[in-house]
Amino acid sequence: MFTIATWNINSVRLRETLVARFLTEEAPDILCLQETKSPVEKIPLAAFHALGYRHVVARGQKGYNGVAILSKLPIEDAGDRDYAGLGHARHVAARLESGITIHNFYVPAGGDIPDREQNEKFGQKLDFLTEMRDVFHADRPARSILVGDLNIAPREDDVWSHKQLLKIVSHTPVEVEHLGAAQDAGKWVDITRKDIPEGLLYSWWSYRARDWDAADKGRRLDHIWATPDIAGAGHGSRILRPVRGWEQPSDHVPVLASFDL
């Protein structure tokens, strides 16, 4: 059995102590980070190594994007893909000795205007998701786990107000449709919602809210999926809401699940 966590850290160097605290308190076997905002060689790996995370597969760039997989278990680099040809570090994969492949994604946020004619970033987001769909169609994933900040809250109960967010980037029908098409193409199972099928569930709260906890205007942007051949082994899903209240937090919190594999 192993436990996997995903967390958009919003700068791994700025929040090194938060990552170390999380690894100490929760000790997942694998932690997938997004938005590390660092070249790989400048990620503070020594601190994580000291906590038992000796295996790392990562892609980075200066100041933006970046994805990393930290693991107590041996992993090998399973490559990456430049989705939508953006030249961004937004995907990396690693393979466990058991043959399980872990994909760590950071889907573009998409800007503020949900119209590709007016907003190039929104078009890039849709193109990224379309390529995910096409890749999964062409090469159906097996024995795989997909995690990351997918920057879409697909269900009505994944946002604080379905009606008020229908025209807000991350919950628009066109984004939900594109994400659903990518999910369907790989037959991916949403493990979090398999375990917690009902009720409001969030992993992100905006920095703009003065009191994020009281306002509670959250969205579930961070996901853990698995292919059907191993989805039945997934359980114990949790979203660590209290982490949003840590000092100098990311606006995202860790999402975890365990797999009896």
Q: What is the pLDDT of residues 178-190, one digit of tens each?
A: 999 999 999 999 9
SS3 at position 117: coil
Displacement of CA 223 from its chain's centroid (Å): 5
Which entry of 29, 149, 190, 222 is annotated as an active-site residue?
Answer: 149
* Mean pLDDT, rounded, of the chain: 98
Closest Cα partner for 91 from 22, 194, 208, 182?
Answer: 182
Closest Cα partner for 178 from 90, 98, 260, 83?
Answer: 83
- pLDDT beyond 90 at 196: yes
Q: Look up 252 and say whether it is catalytic.
A: yes
> Starting at the edge strand that comes first in sequence, how are the strands of the sheet with 91-96 ordered?
75-77, 91-96, 101-106, 144-149, 222-226, 189-190
Q: What is the pLDDT of residues 40-98, one digit of tens each?
A: 999 999 999 999 999 999 999 999 999 999 999 999 999 999 999 999 999 999 999 99
Task: Find out whether 251 and 238 touch, Cβ atoms under 8 Å.
Answer: no
Q: How many CB atoms are located within 10 Å of the residue 125 CB? A: 27
CATH level 3 topology of 2-259: Deoxyribonuclease I; Chain A (3.60.10)
SS3 at position 226: strand
- pLDDT beyond 90 at 20: yes
Give residue 51's pLDDT: 98
Displacement of CA 149 from its chain's centroid (Å): 3
- pLDDT beyond 90 at 131: yes
Give residue 36's pLDDT: 98
How many residues are present in the chain? 261
Task: Find out whether 55 and 70 touch, Cβ atoms under 8 Å.
Answer: yes
The binding site for Mg(2+) consists of 8, 35, 149, 151, 251-252
* CA–CA separation, 92 and 59 (whole Å): 7
Give residue 40's pLDDT: 98
Across 248-252, average pLDDT: 98
Overall pTM > 0.95: yes
Which residue shows structure tokens 């100041």? 63
Task: Find out whether 33 and 67 touch, Cβ atoms under 8 Å.
Answer: yes
Across 131-144, average pLDDT: 98
Domain boundaries, the chain: 2-259
Which entry of 53, 83, 106, 202 is annotated as an active-site residue?
Answer: 106
Q: Look up 83 and say whether it is catalytic.
A: no
Q: How many CB atoms are located within 10 Å of the residue 161 CB? A: 11
Q: What is the pLDDT of residues 91-129, one digit of tens each?
A: 999 999 999 999 999 999 999 999 999 999 999 999 999
Across 191-213, average pLDDT: 96
The binding site consists of 8, 35, 149, 151, 251-252
Which entry of 88, 171, 178, 252 is annotated as an active-site residue?
Answer: 252
Q: Look up 106 and say whether it is catalytic.
A: yes
Give residue 210's pLDDT: 86
> What Cα–Cα distance (Å) separates residue 37 from each residue in 60, 203, 204?
7, 20, 18
